[in-house]
Structure 1
Amino acid sequence: MSQSSSGVYTSSDSFPKSFSSGYSELSSTSISLPFATRHRVLDEQTCDSGLCSPLPSDRFKYITWHQLEGHDIHGTQIHCPRVRKAPSDEQLFLRGEECGHLMRKRKTEKEDVKNRLQENWENSLEVNLSYQDLGDSYQQENFYRILRRLIRVEKLQLIDNSLMDLSSFRLPRCKELNLNKNYFSSFKQLPKIPQIQHLSLAENNIQTLCGLSSLRMSPLESLNLKRNPCEFQEQYRMKVFSSLPNLKVLDGIPKMPTDCALAEQSLISKMCLIL
């Protein structure tokens, strides 16, 4: 377990075991947040259905990780630091959310420089940027800006970020990459990952195995393609292992003798029989 120089908890003990949670996880220690008070009910309005709205957590949906200092939450307690920016005041007004968020103070130039120094992404080795809720184009631009700075990252989790194409990005030292629950439709849309060892692409929209050979020269040992359309292809496992000779585990199942049948058949077909 490691921690970047920015103070943000960006590590995980192992490749993610469960992806059921869609929110930033806090430590098990007791944390007293300002919205968890008896006065919160006064700020909520009851909708026609009789349910209280908004949820307490909605007050923090536009706050990035380094803005949580005044809410008794520290960077070391955040597993998925939020890097998306908030909409402008004009956009919030058009959405009718001008009173539905915490008042954001105007950042001075000095504070902006301080925040940028905290985001020491270049030296981060383990980063979790999952569940960012990138709803606006400028939020995506800020996310991609940070992604380009991860030049030394070895373990990276980008779960459920509505990502479609990262082919223009390069992660030269990345060994473990989790891209579950995104919108990738081809292996050609993956970033450049020459050192990848463990790759997870479960619950995407990968139709065919075309482009899989681009990972042939990598030291890829395990690959997860569960709940992708390509999983239902005929001789699916044989084709994957034939394209990736270094692969040992596919979809959580180790390589079996039957998975090598296609390669053996291909070899036999190329042999010349002399009578």
Structure 2
Amino acid sequence: MSESSSDVNTFSAGSLPKSYSSRYSELGVAHLPASARHGSDSGLGSTPLPSSRFRFVSWHHLAHCHLTGDQLTCPRVREGPSADELFHGDEEAAGEQRWRMRMRREEEGPSWEERRQENWENCRELNLSYQDLGEPFQRENFLRILHRLIRVERLQLVDNSLSNLTSVRLPRCKVLNLQRNHLVCLLHLPKLPAVEQLCLAENAIASLGGLDTLRNSPLRSLNLALNPVAFAQDYRAHVFSCLPNLEILDGVPKLPEDNLHTGFRFPQISRMCNIL
């Protein structure tokens, strides 16, 4: 492993263990398109991370790689399908997969179980963005992990197609990023008694109903940019009136004119039609 001038660790061609090199080639990475093998992530600038060469490899195949967690952009934690689901309708392939897993378990001994153990309860900072939760078993496993984050303080959940997190409680979370999900209502947020910074930008939240659930939290910064509700009349005044401790809304500090409508309420919708 060598260090480039940009302080980003990179791998030399011969730095990987032989055991991993063979496994890496077996995964078919060499057959990826040239643009996928050599291009960098669009959101990371022109210098790729050392993990870029492994971004199309399943996370459970990285056991023998010397990458550390802080070098991964967004490690995928999805639990994979069982052998029966993976090879549905192909009993021979399913049997071969089970045999390989059994042989691997016997070869590695206790380390197999140790590696499979999870310690989400003691996690303090976590990035679980871009998980591509397209299957029910993936979403169920993702929620199972969220339920165990009892000590997390900073959590990134960007672009996960999440629509309802009411069953989740994050008692110590201070910074939560839910940008680019499918939330339509503030009532679908997780329970956040300690949140200080909350980003809900680029969702589908159309009303401020449920905003008062955050009133007793120490929330200082809220981002609702590019939600339908952000285009409502007197939107900022209403948010600041509901959240007196709020200091920043959509990246803009509280302005003097945001106090002009302290007692503002959305007008009642009239059923009468006025013809001018």
Counterpart Cα distance in 2 of 1:171 and 1:145: 13
Q: Which residue of 2 aligns with 1:31?
A: 11
Normalised to the residue count of structure 2, the TM-score between the two structures is 0.70
1:209-267 deviations in whole A, cap 9, x for unaligned?
Answer: 1110110111110000011000110101011101100000000000001011111678x
1:181-201 deviations in whole A, cap 9, x for unaligned?
Answer: 100000100000011110000
After superposition, residues 146-225 of structure 1 pair within 5 angstroms as 146-225=145-224
Q: Which residue of 2 aligns with 1:114?
A: 114
Aligned residues: 226
Counterpart Cα distance in 2 of 1:160 and 1:220: 22
Q: Which residue of 2 aligns with 1:6?
A: none
The answer to whether the 8 Å contact 2:127/2:157 transfers is yes
Give the partner amino acid of 1:134: L
The answer to whether the 8 Å contact 1:203/1:228 transfers is yes
Counterpart Cα distance in 2 of 1:40 and 1:129: 24
Q: CA deviation at 1:145?
A: 1.2
Q: CA deviation at 1:163?
A: 0.6
- After superposition, the Cα gap between the structure-2 partners of 1:131 and 1:39, relative to the gap in structure 1 and judged at 3 Å, is closer
The answer to whether the 8 Å contact 2:121/2:149 transfers is yes
The answer to whether the 8 Å contact 2:241/2:263 transfers is no
Give the partner amino acid of 1:86: G
Q: Which residue of 1 aligns with 2:140?
A: 141
Counterpart Cα distance in 2 of 1:81 and 1:38: 20
The answer to whether the 8 Å contact 1:44/1:54 transfers is no
- Gaps (5+ residues) in structure 2? 1-6, 38-51, 266-276
1:247 aligns with 2:246: yes
The alignment partner of 1:239 has SS state of helix
Q: CA deviation at 1:87?
A: 3.3
Name the structure with the higher helix share.
Answer: 2
Q: Which residue of 2 aligns with 1:227?
A: 226
Counterpart Cα distance in 1 of 2:199 and 2:66: 34
Q: Which residue of 1 aligns with 2:81?
A: 87
Q: CA deviation at 1:89?
A: 4.3
Counterpart Cα distance in 2 of 1:163 and 1:38: 34
The answer to whether the 8 Å contact 2:27/2:57 transfers is no
The answer to whether the 8 Å contact 1:179/1:200 transfers is yes
The answer to whether the 8 Å contact 1:62/1:86 transfers is no
- After superposition, the Cα gap between the structure-2 partners of 1:41 and 1:164, relative to the gap in structure 1 and judged at 3 Å, is closer
- Gaps (5+ residues) in structure 1? 1-26, 46-51, 267-275
Q: CA deviation at 1:141?
A: 1.4
The answer to whether the 8 Å contact 1:154/1:176 transfers is yes
The alignment partner of 2:202 has SS state of coil
Give the partner amino acid of 1:151: I
1:47-98 deviations in whole A, cap 9, x for unaligned?
Answer: xxxxx4895589864622x5413244333422422101233445545699xx
Counterpart Cα distance in 1 of 2:158 and 2:165: 14
The alignment partner of 2:11 has SS state of coil
The alignment partner of 2:260 has SS state of helix
Superposition CA RMSD, Å: 3.5
